[in-house]
Amino acid sequence: MRYTFIPELFRQLFSKPFTNLFPLKYAPASIKDTLDKIKKGEIEINPPVEIPDKEIFRGKIQYDREKCIGCGLCIKVCPAKAIELKKEEKKIRIYVGRCIFCGQCVDACPKGALSQGEEFLLADADKLNKEWVIE
Amino acid sequence: MELGMKCFKRALWIYHMNTGSCNGCDIEIIAALTPRYDVERFGIRLVGTPRHADVIALTGPVTSDMVDKVKRVYEQTPDPKVVLVVGSCGISGGVFHESYHLEGPIDKIIPDGTFVYVPGCPPRPEAIIQGVIKAWEILEEVRGNGRTTQKTEGEKD
């Protein structure tokens, strides 16, 4: 009875740690050098935690320009008013900085032009960069 | 003095301030500190006062009550500093954009700050870690403290 903890101890000694080592195991000496090396492909970053259910995950909105008919239903349902109508072209423009990733526009779209991807690593220093304005 | 500066270069200390947030982003910041993500292995940790911080993490749209507090916290933080805006409502107002008690997004209150924006409502902890790394990159550029230039920097100051 006294040593019942020993099997558990051995199990924990050799089991994989629970921590997800995103993006690197330890802090590098210089982050800029490291980012350059990642771009060149010399270092690989550890992937983030896997998305639990890819079908219902709400990531960045993806817009299929060809399918859009410019009906404006997505603009009506958007609670954050992140979507803007371009009247001359009858297309929309989505601002990711305003979007709250609720997915109501995806449900409302009659033509299936909007969908939500798996991208969620979106941090940036510029508020209106190309990645954040979907046209 | 030089030894002291060496220690401060890599580990970013973060002061977290809630400026009218719904607590969603605050929970995600705490989630990034838990053993699942464990940002303390990078030396990233939350501190209790802006005077110790390199990065201020602001969550939430700025309500009219918080305007002078945000300005005061920003001025108390030593230079160089980066403001990490966590969540969509800090970036543009988000769902609260038309509310009567908002004084606009954070860059309206601090017009000359350096910002890193993390969109999401709330963002996942990995996205917050990525934002901190962006802030780290900016601070490294400002301080010029990559390993390669480290020796000459002490002489300049």
Q: Note the pLDDT of residue B79.
A: 80
Count of domains observed in chain B:
1
Is residue B122 included in any domain, yes or no?
A: yes
Task: Evaluate whether A33 touches B149 at the Cβ level (below 8 Å).
Answer: no
Q: What is the pLDDT of residue B9?
A: 66
Q: What is the mean pLDDT of residues A112-130?
A: 88
We find that the CATH architecture of domain A61-134 is 2-Layer Sandwich (3.30)
Distance CA B145, CA B153 (A): 7
Per-domain residue ranges of chain A: 19-49, 61-134
| Domain of residue B103, residue span | 13-148
Q: Look at residue B4 and tell me if it is in a domain.
A: no
A55-64, B12-21, B144-153, range with the lowest pLDDT: B144-153
Q: Indicate whether B73 belongs to any domain.
A: yes
How close are the terminal C-alpha atoms of chain A, in Å?
A: 68
Q: What residues of A are in the B interface, CB distance below 8 Å?
A: 18-20, 22-23, 25-27, 29-33, 35, 48-49, 79-81, 95-102, 120-127, 132
Residue B97 lies in a domain: yes
Instruction: Tell me: pLDDT of B3 over 80.
Output: no
The per-residue pLDDT for range A21-46, each reduced to its tens digit, is 888 888 888 888 888 888 888 888 88
pLDDT at B116: 92
Give the global pTM: 0.86
The predicted structure's pLDDT at residue B156: 44
pLDDT at position B84: 92
Count of A-B CB contacts under 8 Å: 117
Residue B26 pLDDT greater than 70, yes or no: yes
Q: Output the domain CATH number for residue B32.
A: 3.40.50.12280
CA distances to A29, A123, B136, B148 from B152, in Å: 16, 32, 20, 9
